[in-house]
A and B are shown apart, each in its own frame.
Chain A
Amino acid sequence: AQKITQTQPGMFVQEKEAVTLDCTYDTSDQSYGLFWYKQPSSGEMIFLIYQGSYDEQNATEGRYSLNFQKARKSANLVISASQLGDSAMYFCAMTLNNAGNMLTFGGGTRLMVKP
């Protein structure tokens, strides 16, 4: 069974600075996908970025980039130029190629951006 670990329950970052949220995963499958979602206090899960296990380049989406290190089984999220609106819970999630739309989530990291 696959497992996602997020070791940072909470983090502070100064506005306009960059921050890295850690995510490690464990699976014996070779075909998998990794996601990051943001959950504001409203509850909705907002998709941020995706990385496939066979993608050789790190994924980027605007201010979000995913630092994918396959050998270390890590998929850290980097947010550049933090904004106050980035304050939220962030979840790392994984899916397997043969698992339909079933995601396994990590425990989440609460990010707080200081003005």
Chain B
Amino acid sequence: KAGVTQTPRYLIKTRGQQVTLSCSPISGHRSVSWYQQTPGQGLQFLFEYFSETQRNKGNFPGRFSGRQFSNSRSEMNVSTLELGDSALYLCASSPSPSSYNSPLHFGNGTRLTVT
């Protein structure tokens, strides 16, 4: 089975631009969640989708948004980019609506650099 696929692997954008990141979950997984990893703040939860519905959202400004399609693929969008948005963005999928007893499977991430 193919793992979680994130595209692109690397992105360089300029302040003020917007960016869209893509995540294809493992086949059959209906949950997709997104995490931001920075050296200063560590790993922080962005949001989670299950069957096209956003179920949880982390403490991020409205510039960060996402969606999930009927095939479970997900995109996240960051508008009006700031230097502090430079980070590794990780996507994770799961067959279960709860990670209470089902681990998340992560992709390799998209490394975003904002200049």
Stretch at the interface among B12-20, B64-72, B101-109: B101-109
Do B101 and A103 have beta carbons less than 8 Å apart?
no
Do B109 and A101 have beta carbons less than 8 Å apart?
no
Do B103 and A35 have beta carbons less than 8 Å apart?
yes
Residue on A with the closest CB to B58? A102
Do A44 and B43 have beta carbons less than 8 Å apart?
no
Pick from B97, B104, B107, B109: contact of A103, CB under 8 Å: B104
**Which residues of chain A come closer than 8 Å to B42, judged between CB atoms?**
105-108
Residue on A with the closest CB to B47? A102
- Chain B nearest CB from A101 CB (Å) reads 5
How many B residues touch A, CB cutoff 8 Å?
A: 30
Do A44 and B100 have beta carbons less than 8 Å apart?
no
- Chain B nearest CB from A39 CB (Å) reads 9
A21-64 vs B, Cβ < 8 Å mask (1 yes, 0 no)? 00000000001110101000011111100101000000000000
Tell me, yes or no, whether B88 is within 8 Å of chain A by CB.
yes
Stretch at the interface among A10-18, A66-74, A79-87, A90-98: A90-98
Tell me, yes or no, whether A76 is within 8 Å of chain B by CB.
no
- Chain A nearest CB from B50 CB (Å) reads 7
Tell me, yes or no, whether A115 is within 8 Å of chain B by CB.
no
Tell me, yes or no, whether A104 is within 8 Å of chain B by CB.
yes
Known: A45-B90, A91-B43. A100 touches B50 (CB 8 A): yes
Interface residues of B (CB under 8 A from A): 31, 33, 35, 42-45, 48, 50, 55-56, 58, 88, 90, 92, 94, 96-101, 103-109, 111
